[in-house]
Amino acid sequence: MIFIGCQLSGQTDNDFKVYWDNGFKADSKDGNTKIKMGGRLQYDVMWISQDDSLNNHFDAKNGSEFRRARIYT
């Protein structure tokens, strides 16, 4: 994650506790600041192998797509 790499650049290493608990979390030592980030993806993938006689009736191709993406903070 990009946020972990940033390491909350304006702070020292000891000011925040950064961890994973059903999502990215960062808590300040004094408890005044808490950040929680997470999300959900729904993704579809299809591989098809159809008989040549079906090619005249259906135009099915392999593919993939995102159905939904939800991100929260």
Q: How far is Cα 59 from Cα 68, in angstroms, rounded to an integer? A: 25
pLDDT of 22 strictly over 90: no
Check whether 5 has a pLDDT greater than 80.
no
Would you place residue 13 in the very low, low, confident or very high pLDDT band (cuts 50, 70, 90)? low
Domain extent listing, the chain? 2-72
pLDDT at 12 over 80: no
The C-alpha atoms of residue 9 and residue 69 are separated, in whole angstroms, by: 28
Check pLDDT > 70 for residue 11.
no
* Distance separating alpha carbons of residues 73 and 71, to the nearest angstrom: 7
Q: Which two tokens stand for residue 31?
A: 């408890």
Six token digits for residue 45: 């993938």
| Tokens encoding 39 | 């999300």
Average pLDDT, the chain: 81
pLDDT category at 43 given cuts 50, 70, 90 is very high
